[in-house]
Structure 1
Amino acid sequence: MTRARTLLGVLLTVVLLVTAAAYVLWRRGEAAAAQDGLHLRLDRHGTVVYVDRDRVRQVTPRGTAIGDGPTCQRAATARSTLICVRTRPGPLSAQSAQVRVYTGGAREPEVTLPVWGAPSRARVSPSGHLVSWTVFRTGDSYAVPGRFSTTAGVYDLRDGHHYGSLEDFEPIVDGERYREQDVNFWGVTFAADDRTFYATMASKGRTWLMRGDLVRRTLTAVRRNVECPSLSPDGRRIAYKKRTEHGRWRLHVLRLGRGARPVVRADVALAETAHVDDQPAWLDDDTLAYARPVDGTPTLFTVPADGSGRPHRFAAGSSPTPATG
């Protein structure tokens, strides 16, 4: 009995020490985050903001450093608004994240939102009023064991309206409401009207480019086999990754027609022939930026948006977007 009590005491002591250590690490992470200021010039039009080794960086098109910012795994900017999606330090960090939004060059976040999942994508609308994020998450009842599912959300900085998950919107495919329960959404990109957006929907092994309406809370299918869309500055083209017959993703750009229900007018494969698992970003009307690994290190590349030229290696990092003043 004495030996059993001794073992139990040792076990309880170990549990308490582990719990205390985890708490200390969590508090240190929170303290570091509290001191994680913004040292960027988001009003510097034409510069590039990206993530390198979990830190936001800003450089000129030639690679000259301008400044750095908060700790993030995914980031995006537009009109001096920065969204930072970061894993929250401490216990259960693999499924606990924060969306932090900085505006007007402020050194402290204006908005901090808890989210369930691991950071995946981030975007800011051209006006800087809307932000969106995508996270990987596990534990959904429909998820295949050992695989991730995704969820995406939208938040309006003007009035603090949280649109919730895109799973709460009404999806429409081939003119009818889509009623399957295994839907996943990711990769939001915004139009200039602060109402229209595009995203990917996946279900039953298929993917669609969905055109979203924040007012009607609907998502309408536009085209199959489109993932991680990125709307061009002129609102007429979408860059995306397309799954090929070999199971790889290749970057493409499609041109949209006009009207409430745009149809695809053209689809061009870009000069980057390597496998790219990323949401590309338009640096300007003619150039796309994206990340892919080189010798195991996330690396940024640029490529012309018309299918010409060749990829150009830019810097080590991921999650690129241009600063738009």
Structure 2
Amino acid sequence: MTRSARLLTLLIAVVLLGAVGTGAVLYAADRSGRRDQEQAGGPPVHPGIVTLKPTGRQLVVRNLAWGPHRDELATVPADRPDGPRTVSGEKCLRFHAAAGTGICLQAEHGALEDTYQAVVLDDRLHELHRFPAAGIPTRARVSPSGHLVAWTVFVSGDSYAGTDFSTRTAIVDTRDWRLEDNLETFALIMDGHPYRASDTNIWGVTFADDNRFYATVATGGQTYLVQGDLAARTLTTLHQNVECPSLSPDGTRIAYKKRVAGASPDAPWRLYVLDLATMTETATAEQRNIDDQALWADDHTLVYAMPGDYGSDLWTTPADGSGAPARLMTSAVAPAYLG
């Protein structure tokens, strides 16, 4: 055998051994991830196609099941939330979707610090546009039409429980990518009069349509439900002691977390529902501390995150104060109903 032939044979052998080794490592990693998930008692998870325009009613969540697909968007049939999850490969810290549009708040890990992005997705989870986010993601919503997208981040601090935090809330129109990058520039009308203060914070947008929305405004040590007008660039106070509002599908009620007297400063909130016509408050059957922007599964049922073994579980409770809380999904957060 010539020297060239020997070198060629050696090269082929090295390539084949490398391919075999890589395959073995990937196979072992996949088996290890599945084994970790099974040992943790988590739900079955498998890669597949996730779309924001599914056939049939679907529930999309950020998957927190332990394993190689943690933090990926996952989908399950809405009527089988404890069934096998199809994961997408797309990782989000916060997520919401409606009418084929998604908002995915992501972290980019740098050598010195993390940075954050708000990524608008189409119905196939392809990126349409991205915007720099000023801090740690905390809330995200899409309007019913899919035309407007909102997100809130912590610019300083990482909890709503105290007073030492600052938020930034933005809204973008996906039809022309016009961005309102800080709702604090909107005119605030309190009790019928213009109001300005340096301590104003705004968070937790929920959309009624492509102009009208609701949010929380905090100022002077109090929180308020405000109705926003995107075209007029105004925020008008409606009710006190409302945080992280969520508008019902029929547009008549707001689910929200309310600070209650006598609760611990570290766990001050309970889940309530406000009738917008009468401003009557109804306490739900959920008596534990709620630190989430609840989601309406339908006109009668609320979905929200509670601490779980692997970060968060999703729970439900009736919106009218009846019944009792029930666990919907383990190891999941940031839900969105589609279809």
TM-score range, shorter chain: 0.7 to 0.9
1:319 aligns to 2:334 (yes or no): yes
Residue 167 of structure 1 aligns to a residue whose secondary structure is: helix
For residue 9 of structure 2, what is the aligned residue in structure 1?
Answer: none
CA distance in structure 2 between the aligned counterparts of 1:55 and 1:148, rounded to whole angstroms: 28
Q: Deviation of residue 92 (structure 1)? A: 5.1
Q: Deviation of residue 305 (structure 1)? A: 1.1
Of 82, 90, 101, which aligns to 1:81?
101
Alignment of 1:111-130 (within 5 A): 111-130=129-148
Give the stretch that moved more between structures: 85-94 or 221-230.
Answer: 85-94
Residue 130 of structure 2 aligns to a residue whose secondary structure is: strand
Aligned residue pairs: how many?
A: 274
Q: Deviation of residue 46 (structure 1)? A: 2.8
Does structure 1 retain, via aligned residues, the 8 Å contact 2:52–2:101? yes
Q: Compared with structure 1, are the counterparts of its residues 238 and 66 closer, same or farther at alpha carbon in structure 2 (3 Å cutoff)?
A: same
Q: Compared with structure 1, are the counterparts of its residues 93 and 125 closer, same or farther at alpha carbon in structure 2 (3 Å cutoff)?
A: farther
Q: Compared with structure 1, are the counterparts of its residues 154 and 125 closer, same or farther at alpha carbon in structure 2 (3 Å cutoff)?
A: same
- Counterpart residue identity of residue 271, structure 1: A
- Unmatched 5+ stretches in structure 1: 1-36, 140-144, 258-262
Of 253, 256, 267, which aligns to 1:240?
256
Q: Compared with structure 1, are the counterparts of its residues 79 and 251 closer, same or farther at alpha carbon in structure 2 (3 Å cutoff)?
A: same
- Counterpart residue identity of residue 301, structure 1: W
Q: Deviation of residue 55 (structure 1)? A: 1.8
Of 60, 63, 69, which aligns to 1:52?
63
Q: Deviation of residue 38 (structure 1)? A: 9.0
- Counterpart residue identity of residue 80, structure 1: G
Of 35, 40, 45, which aligns to 2:50?
40
Cα RMSD after superposing both structures: 2.0
- Counterpart residue identity of residue 53, structure 2: D
Residue 109 of structure 2 aligns to a residue whose secondary structure is: coil
Q: Compared with structure 1, are the counterparts of its residues 178 and 146 closer, same or farther at alpha carbon in structure 2 (3 Å cutoff)?
A: closer
For residue 101 of structure 1, what is the aligned residue in structure 2?
Answer: 120
Q: Deviation of residue 255 (structure 1)? A: 0.9
CA distance in structure 2 between the aligned counterparts of 1:271 and 1:46, rounded to whole angstroms: 26
Superposed CA deviations along residues 215-252 of structure 1, whole A, max 9, x for unmatched, are 00000000000000000111111000001012421101
Identity %: 45
For residue 133 of structure 1, what is the aligned residue in structure 2?
Answer: 151
TM-score norm. by structure 1 comes to 0.80
Superposed CA deviations along residues 153-191 of structure 1, whole A, max 9, x for unmatched, are 000001111012111111110111111111111100000
Does structure 2 retain, via aligned residues, the 8 Å contact 1:38–1:108? no
Q: Deviation of residue 40 (structure 1)? A: 1.2
- Counterpart residue identity of residue 254, structure 2: I
CA distance in structure 2 between the aligned counterparts of 1:146 and 1:296, rounded to whole angstroms: 28
For residue 282 of structure 1, what is the aligned residue in structure 2?
Answer: 296
Q: Compared with structure 1, are the counterparts of its residues 93 and 47 closer, same or farther at alpha carbon in structure 2 (3 Å cutoff)?
A: farther
Superposed CA deviations along residues 13-32 of structure 1, whole A, max 9, x for unmatched, are xxxxxxxxxxxxxxxxxxxx
TM-score norm. by structure 2 comes to 0.77
Does structure 2 retain, via aligned residues, the 8 Å contact 1:41–1:67? no
